[in-house]
Structure 1
Amino acid sequence: MTTTVSNERVKGRAERSTFRIPLGRRIWDPVLHFLLWLFVRVEVEGKENIPPEGPLILILNHVHWLDPVVLVANIPRYAVPLSKAEAFEWPVVGQLMKWYKVIPIHRGALDMAAVRWADQLLAAGQALIIAPEGTRSRTGGLQRGKEGVVFFARRHDPIIVPVAVTGTLAFDENFKRRRLTPIHIKIGRPFKFRWPASKR
């Protein structure tokens, strides 16, 4: 079960912490925004649905490697995506992910290093970006979600915000033809899971 949450109820709930945004992220943010400006045009709907502070999980559909990239660059607070470990070996993109302190996750097994990293961020009142499907959809349609979001929600009781990213499937072809790709990000209403009393 879920319950919707207003931003007014969220404000001021996060405990103060000594968390600092990584230096690499602060240095390379302008570079990322410039690269995106060269190749895409992003329209964002619903920014007001993102709580300004407190533990948060943004859940998004995933059809292209660019989905979490454009989301990170177009939301009003710091957020860290989880990504498959293999992506860190990609040229350019992989290096940017390392500088941005993206959390690498080894799929197919319980990756305790990734769990600890994500736990630390949520405990510090920060935001994670998770694709519940666990992998890209090859058809553009939603696949059955995995347990990751529920796993962290049970441990930290964060606000959950659903996000839909559309338009990225056209990026590869537009890039080859040197055309801009229009991308739309729709941010839904925040909610929290309501756990049965017997399972708390």
Structure 2
Amino acid sequence: MSIYGIGKMICRLYFTFVIRAEVIGRENIPKEGPVLLCSNHISNYDPPLVGSFIKRKLNFMAKQELFEKKLIGSLLNALGAFPVKRGAGDRQALKKGLSMLKEGKVLCLFPEGTRSKTGEVGKGLSGSGFFALKSEAVIVPVAVIGKYKPFHKVTIVYGKPLDFQKLRDQKTNAADATEEIMDGIRALIDEHRKREKANES
């Protein structure tokens, strides 16, 4: 078993039995072909949570500083991560991400670029819109809801793919495309909260 496979198994056991993760919508992720997963960001646990419950290998960006330590950098590479310089458009990272999508892989992004301190979805950076417009990937919004506390439920919702063909045809700019993605994430959170309230009443 690969390092990725071992890490995934350990994380899945942890999220299932300690965090008590509730998983919704796994069937919305295509079994093959390029996929862009875009999730809100509330914790450092988000990347392993998003990847633990899907069959396909996840690839994601991580801040370049983490790769400066050789051991950690090697481990991150084995786990599907690649470096990105924060605070500016990193052309090398953009090319790497596009290349992965062209190869039919799954790329996971956290458009906000940093963790939300309030738990509410913030403004997304334009990189997500760039990948969505410049590739033929299926765009799947993802919502992580709750707090990572032992035996307190965290819910992860993989939403239905967003229809981006019209935006691609219209040559929409990356910022507007990102906002479309963020709206999709917010809609998942709102729908889940309404469901929870309905179940309580």
What is the TM-score with the length of structure 1 in the denominator? 0.73
SS of 1:192's equivalent in the other structure is: coil
SS of 2:163's equivalent in the other structure is: strand
1:28 aligns with 2:25: no
Structure-to-structure mapping, 1:73-112, within 5 angstroms: 73-88=52-67, 96-112=75-91
Q: CA shift at 1:93, angstroms?
A: 7.9
Unmatched 5+ stretches in structure 1: 1-21
> How far apart, CA to CA, are the structure 1 residues paired with 2:53 and 2:114?
22
**Equivalent residue number for residue 167 of structure 2:** 195
Structure-to-structure mapping, 1:5-84, within 5 angstroms: 23-37=2-16, 39-84=18-63
> How far apart, CA to CA, are the structure 2 residues paired with 1:123 and 1:66?
27
Residues 77/108 of structure 1: CA separation in 2 closer, same or farther (3 Å cut):
same
CA contact (8 A) 1:84 1:105 kept: yes
Query: Alpha carbon RMSD of aligned pairs, Å?
Result: 2.8
Q: Give the letter aligned to residue 70 of structure 1.
A: L
SS of 1:40's equivalent in the other structure is: coil
Q: CA shift at 1:38, angstroms?
A: 6.0
Aligned-residue sequence identity (percent) comes to: 35
SS of 1:52's equivalent in the other structure is: coil
Q: Give the letter aligned to residue 114 of structure 1.
A: A
Residues 143/26 of structure 1: CA separation in 2 closer, same or farther (3 Å cut):
same
> How far apart, CA to CA, are the structure 1 residues paired with 2:169 and 2:102?
23
Q: CA shift at 1:198, angstroms?
A: 5.7
Q: CA shift at 1:65, angstroms?
A: 0.7
Residues 89/140 of structure 1: CA separation in 2 closer, same or farther (3 Å cut):
farther
> How far apart, CA to CA, are the structure 1 residues paired with 2:86 and 2:118?
21
Number of residues of Structure 1 aligned to a counterpart in Structure 2: 170
SS of 1:30's equivalent in the other structure is: helix
Q: CA shift at 1:156, angstroms?
A: 0.9
Higher strand share: 1
SS of 2:154's equivalent in the other structure is: strand
Residues 86/181 of structure 1: CA separation in 2 closer, same or farther (3 Å cut):
farther
CA contact (8 A) 1:158 1:192 kept: no
**Equivalent residue number for residue 157 of structure 2:** 186
> How far apart, CA to CA, are the structure 1 residues paired with 2:49 and 2:144?
9
Unmatched 5+ stretches in structure 2: 173-201
Q: CA shift at 1:101, angstroms?
A: 2.5
User: What's the CA shift string for 1:150-170, capped at 9, x where partnerless?
Assistant: 111222121111111112xx3
User: What's the CA shift string for 1:106-146, capped at 9, x where partnerless?
Assistant: 11122233222212210111111111111111111111111
Q: Which aligned segments of 4 or more residues in structure 1 are displaced greater than 6 angstroms? A: 92-95
> How far apart, CA to CA, are the structure 2 residues paired with 1:112 and 1:199?
20
Picking from 105, 108, 131, the partner of 1:129 is: 108
Q: CA shift at 1:37, angstroms?
A: 4.9
